[in-house]
Structure 1
């Protein structure tokens, strides 16, 4: 059973008004909280970390084919802005078309990566970014499949803490954990 098979949408997802931004401010607050929780849970379960605004409206996350309802681009923008306000979203580009959905903060990702390095005897060893993101030794890790730029941000945190050094070798990126 894949991770995607394990994911269940919350009850609100089957409620048609959930797909229309509510005018009552109290109701809207509850609705946005539910959407933010859903986005974070969906991204965590599917091990996703990048959202493309142009493609998001057709995503199963924001489009319920059973109800024939989907969120408007404006409502998706409101949800993404809420995630940004809570520190769970960081824009990748200036045009706000792509963003990282941070179901873990960059600091938390740094801790996860370092814990993996310690637990797997990888201190004083160079690992390529490819090995970390796509390697067989990391298939069960939360960071497996992570966006390379987000990985780089997390490793820079470790570099600032003197727990790692980022290395560039023949056009490939790697990291040595201390």
Structure 2
């Protein structure tokens, strides 16, 4: 069973220049890599999946209150573009205001869901989307309380692999694992 891991900010978080985009390109590259790693670790340990650019600057992730430093919106956008470039972010809208932080790829989520279903004897059984996301049986799983649209994308990947069938009835969504 997956447990919520303890999270600690890296040393850079308490280093004021970390919050200012560095002019030297080599240093900037390292800075973007460090921020990318921090975002992925933060989102994973807090089981978060969606970033809202409008709210990001006030998040404790991008605003170190003890240093009275926060990243500019432009720098946050630059870091998010780096995450997108490396396959760890997918925009949810054309304006690039909200996106999924993919600390696991959609295919990895699909594998995790399928492994859970098989390990828990759910083969040839219908599970509701609600039970997968919020049920007691999944409370210790990393996909518990994940974004519903992201969950549906993972289930769609399983469907394409012929490992599951997504079922929609009366506005409710279920999945049958094979």
TM over 0.5: yes
- Coarse TM-score class (shorter-chain normalised): over 0.9
Count matched residues.
Answer: 176
Q: Could you say what secondary structure the match of 2:162 adopts?
A: coil
Map residues 80-91 of structure 1 onto 2, 5 A cutoff.
80-91=80-91
Deviation of 1:169 after TM superposition, in Å, equals 1.5
> Gaps spanning 5+ residues in structure 1: where?
none
Deviation of 1:3 after TM superposition, in Å, equals 4.2
Deviation of 1:40 after TM superposition, in Å, equals 0.1
**Aligned equivalents of 2:127, 2:62: Cα separation in 1:** 37
Deviation of 1:95 after TM superposition, in Å, equals 1.1
**Aligned equivalents of 1:56, 1:109: Cα separation in 2:** 25
| Residue in structure 1 matched with residue 31 of structure 2 by the alignment | 31
**Aligned equivalents of 1:118, 1:163: Cα separation in 2:** 10
* 1:171 and 2:157 aligned: no
| Residue in structure 1 matched with residue 12 of structure 2 by the alignment | 12
1:119-138 CA-to-partner distances (Å, cap 9, x unmatched) read 00001111111101111100
When the two chains are superposed, the root-mean-square deviation of aligned CA atoms in Å is: 1.1
Deviation of 1:7 after TM superposition, in Å, equals 1.0
| Residue in structure 2 matched with residue 154 of structure 1 by the alignment | 154
| Residue in structure 1 matched with residue 116 of structure 2 by the alignment | 116
